[in-house]
Amino acid sequence: MTVCSAAFTGLARAQSEALSHPDLPLAVIPHPFGIRTREEIKQIAGPCAADIVRLVCESAPGKSPIAPSASVGARRAELIEAPADLDELNKFFIKQRWSDGLPVIPPTAERVARMVDYTRRAPDEIIATIAPAFGAATVESIAINAVLAGCYPEYMPVLIAAVSAMAAPEFNLRHIQTTTNPAAVWLIINGPIAERLGVNSGINCLGPGNWANATLGRALRLIEHNIGGGLPGDIDRASLGQPGKYTFCCAENEIENPWEPLHVERGFARDCSTVTVVGALSPLNTTTHAKNADNLLRVLADTMAYPMCNDYVYGGEPWLVLTPELAHILQRDGLSKDAVKRRLWDHSKLLASRLSPYDIVRTQSARRAELGEIGPETLLPVSARPENINILVAGGPGTHSAYIPVCGNSRSVTREVMLPGQ
């Protein structure tokens, strides 16, 4: 049995069906209940408790949900008849809910085969199961979504590594796919493959205009959608969403980075190619013409400390994207990347009283083990440790940066890109 509010019964049903238990009993609580008075909650709780007891007693023992590893097999994709006209084909894909709403490239057998052949892997090899539907991400199914998004065959090793990273338990994709937060999977590419594929790390790297950025990020989103079951309105319950849920991909500007790049910081060789996936919320653009490290870090830290940020409630893993100009100011003034993180962590602490009373209760529940008893005068750090703040150097000339909070308890994951023959 599962308990949910009335607004999320569709999600509960979709999730139980995805886990091969469509008849799972639901105990439904009236929505919304967060704004109710204590007396109203008491009145709601009585019937709800009785309903839960009734459902538990009435539920006959049935077959257990099939485990993800057993419920999905390495089946090959089926050939289907689809309209030859491109306009009609796109309407067909939208009707089947296989599209993100943008035009798609027809995933013909020939196009998909070219994708698979580039990898030198078996089409039915399972790379991972993708939450929350726990569909099998085979080489072939990844290739199908890559074709839909407009990827070239040489992009496949990046997508395979990204799928593996996205399925890691610490990434918490199940939460990212179902939350009301505007969570998107941000794909960061490091190493030689970024230049080889032409992934933009400079001017407008988080915006339009680059084929590799656009199609790689979009393919990953379509994999979440079509293999992981993240259908908007059903399992994907984002209240607003964000444009990054269409595509969110860039490379690090390693050439203009005054520090070691992200993948080296994470223990990979500089000539190794990697992908990093981040459960990112909406980016916040910042701009300052500060010309020394003290002033720059002060205003950056002040920008990070806003009371509606998830990271303060859960102790997160926020990201700061610095343009090379700002990174060089910090490095010129003698600061390492670790020193920048420490300064940001120290100066971005948020007074708990700035949170709403309800959010203070959430924070007490989430961070008591880390911080002890939390009261209105407690200074909340944005993350449990300074090293949990991540810094990426990207973009072109200018004094901008982007502060990117993360989704709840998601943690970024980095994987090596294995090229064919490795």
* pLDDT (0 to 100) of residue 70: 38
Is 248 in contact with 280 (CB distance < 8 Å)? yes
Spatial separation of the C-alpha atoms in residues 182 and 291, rounded to whole Å: 33
Q: Which residue has the higher pLDDT, 69 or 134?
A: 134
Distance CA 162, CA 418 (A): 11
Domain for residue 204, yes or no?
A: yes
pLDDT at 71: 40
The stretch 265-290 carries a mean pLDDT of 97
Task: Out of 208, 242, 274, pick the residue that ends a domain.
Answer: 274
Q: Are 158 and 274 in contact (CB under 8 A)?
A: no
Q: What is the mean pLDDT of the chain?
A: 92
Asked whether residue 270 is domain-assigned, the answer is: yes
pLDDT reported for residue 72: 42
Does 69 fall in a domain? no
Lowest mean pLDDT among 14-18, 50-54, 402-406: 14-18
Shared domain for 269 and 288, answered yes or no, is no
Question: Encoding tokens for residue 240?
Answer: 């607003």
d(CA 186, CA 204): 15
Q: How far apart are CA 319 and CA 298, in angstroms?
A: 16
pLDDT per residue over 308-353, tens digit each?
A: 998 999 999 999 999 999 999 999 999 999 999 999 999 999 999 9
Number of domains in the chain: 3
Q: Which domain holds residue 39?
A: 2-58
Instruction: Assess whether the previous peptide bond of 208 is cis (omega < 30° from 0).
Output: no
Task: Count the Cβ atoms, other than its own, within 10 Å of residue 268.
Answer: 18
| One domain, residues 47 and 91 | no
Residue 102 resides in a domain:
yes
* Chain centroid to CA 103: 23
> Is residue 202, in this structure, part of any structural domain at all?
yes
Quick one: tokens of 342? Answer: 């420490």
State residue 74 phi and psi, 5-degree precision.
-90, 60
